[in-house]
Amino acid sequence: MKNLAGKLVWILPMIIVLFGVAILFVHNYNEVTEPPDEKWSRELEVGKTSALQSIRADSSEDSHTVSFLTSDGLKQKKYDEDYNLLNEESYDFPVDKFTTFFKTDENFVFSDYYHLYNGKTEDEITAIDKFFPLESMAFYRKGQDVYSLNMKNMEGEELFTLPNPNTSLIFQETSNGIYFLTNDVDQSGHHITYYKVEDEQVKEVGNTDFTLKSSEEFSDMQFYVEGDTAKVLLTTIQKQSMSGKIEGFYYYDEFTFGEDLDLTKISMTDPVSSTELKEVSDIKMRSGEGGTELLFKAIGATKTKFRDSEGFNIYQAQVSTEGVSEITRISNTPNLSHDPSWMNSNTVIWLDKTSSEDRLLLASQNPKVVKEAKAITQANLIQALGKTMGMLSFSLFAIIITSFWFIWPLLFMVVIMFSKKDVLEKDHAWVFFTGGIIYLGAAIMVRHPIFSDSLMARAPEYLSFPGSPILFLVAFAVIAYGILKTGARRRDWSIPIQLTYFIFIHVLFVSVFFGPYVL
Every domain of the chain and the residues it spans:
2-29+389-517
Q: pTM, whole model, 2 decimals?
A: 0.87
What three-state secondary structure class fits 373?
Answer: helix
Q: Which residues contact 110 (CB under 8 A, 6 or more apart)?
A: 74, 93, 99, 100, 101, 102, 116, 117, 119
Q: Chain centroid to CA 183: how far?
A: 33
Beta strand ranges found along 211-269 (DSSP E): 216-226, 229-238, 248-256, 264-266
pLDDT digits (tens, 9 = 90+) for 23-49: 999 999 999 999 999 999 999 988 888
Kindly report the CA angle at 382 between 378 and 385, in degrees rounded to 5? Answer: 140
Judged by average pLDDT, the poorest of 208-222, 239-253, 324-338, 394-408 is 239-253
Q: Radius of gyration of the chain from Cα atoms?
A: 32
pLDDT band for 280, please (50, 70, 90 cuts): very high
Question: Contact, 432 vs 495, CB < 8 A?
Answer: yes
Q: How far apart are CA 110 and CA 130, in angstroms?
A: 12
Helix (H) or strand (E) holding 362: strand 358-364
Q: What is the three-class DSSP state of 101?
A: strand
Rounded-to-integer distance, Cα 326 and Cα 501, Å: 56
- What's the confidence (pLDDT) of residue 497? 85
Predicted pLDDT of residue 251: 94
Rounded to 5°, the CA angle 19-20-21 comes to 90
d(CA 371, CA 40): 11
- Please give the backbone phi and psi of residue 408, each rounded to the nearest 5 degrees, phi first: -70, -45
- The C-alpha atoms of residue 120 and residue 132 are separated, in whole angstroms, by 19
Q: Is-contact 103 74, C-beta < 8 A?
A: yes
Which band of pLDDT confidence, cut at 50, 70 and 90, is reported for residue 301?
very high
Sequence-separated (6 or more) residues with CB below 8 Å from residue 444: 470, 473, 474
Choice among 68-82, 111-125, 318-332 with the minimum mean pLDDT: 68-82
SS3 call for 412: helix
Alpha helices in 226-377 (DSSP H): 367-373
